Structure 1
């Protein structure tokens, strides 16, 4: 989830982050390259399914990751997209990432978006994606993160609606969302990607 381009123009303020007993969210920085890289490469097999791409390649490097993070940091500052690293409370281990991107961003250009019921895509301002490193799935960090994100997005953000988005082939996350009261609102088919994306609110 590394390329987003359309700015958020209506937000009053951007939250600096979130701290819970289990983890900390804060804007990602280039200096996070090594910690982020460790989480990415540990989780690369399922991230390829989540991303519906070959990223990260087996020969992905810390320096290549640093370049990616420079771009994410710039986009965050420019309000084109928001990326938060998720770390343990001590800040010494990356547990995953959270991405907020505009629903009118280029990732959705050319996509076939199908509503479930009478939903309108333009009623939602942000698409939210997240992943948790593989070794933290056993402790249900993904479940705790989703619960925290739901409260944080509702209380601290001034978004005009948001959707949690995952890919139907990423069955672990689909199952997680299916255990909540979130409802499927849209399916999204992107050209060249085999699996549909599922958007919930």
Structure 2
């Protein structure tokens, strides 16, 4: 398993004034579905796929979440839901993938300068519900994630990853002090993924 040698307990989550972050479970299907479908147009750009389809259902979403919940329990990958403080609305999702996951082993990874992919243990992706972008929720989440990843995890190194076609997120990341380290090209995907540290 990619994260089987992680030398600490997996963090239960994070609570801030603006949101709660906790492991996603199948019971979150309806809340997650509402956020996904509201944000489906830009999620298709972020995913570089047709997901979620217009006819995507809560039942299909529940099946997806069951798999994510199991992968989390098995330390294959970690998925956290982002909820409002009352935990009544999903605001987005955070995905922590191993850098030796299958999606990366088959990809073309181009370093910027002399950085080495094997020096990093985790790749972190996130998205925020479309209706919360106007309030800069994505920047709030990113800033909180950076602190949480540095303090609560013991990764050898981690990267924040987005897609070059997801311009809104790329522009937001460029407003920070994060630096581009790698460009990742996956077979069959029209745009590159950009990995920052």
Q: Same fold (TM over 0.5)?
A: yes
Looking at structure 2, the residues matched to 42 and 143 of structure 1 have their Cα atoms a distance apart, in angstroms, of 19
Q: Is the 8 A contact 2:2 2:100 kept in 1?
A: no
Aligned-residue offset at 1:10: 2.4
Q: Name which of 2, 6, 18 aligns with 1:7.
A: 2
How big is the shift at 1:9?
2.1
Q: Deviations over 1:32-63 (max 9, x none)?
A: 00000000000000000000011000000000
- Counting only pairs closer than 5 Å after superposition, residues 1-201 of structure 1 correspond to structure 2 as 6-11=1-6, 12-201=8-197
**Is contact 2:46–2:163 with CA below 8 Å preserved after alignment?**
yes
SS in 2 for 1:7: coil
Aligned length: 196
Taking the aligned partners of 1:79 and 1:110, their CA distance within structure 2 comes to 21
Aligned alpha-carbon RMSD (Å): 0.6
Dislocated runs of 4+, deviation >2 Å: none
Post-superposition offset of 1:110: 1.6
Query: How high is the TM-score relative to the length of structure 1?
Result: 0.97
Distance, in Å, in 1 between the alignment partners of 2:123 and 2:113 is: 19
The CA distance in 1 between the partners of 2:24 and 2:103, in whole Å, is: 20
CA contact (8 A) 1:26 1:84 kept: yes
Per the TM alignment, residue 7 of structure 1 is displaced from its structure 2 partner at its CA by 2.5
Q: Which residue does 1:3 correspond to in 2?
A: none
Q: What whole-Å deviation, never above 9, does each CA across 1:14-39 have from its counterpart, x for those lacking one?
A: 00000000000000000000000000
Q: Please, which runs of 5 or more residues in structure 1 have no aligned partner?
A: 1-5
CA distance in 2, matches of 1:109, 1:63: 31
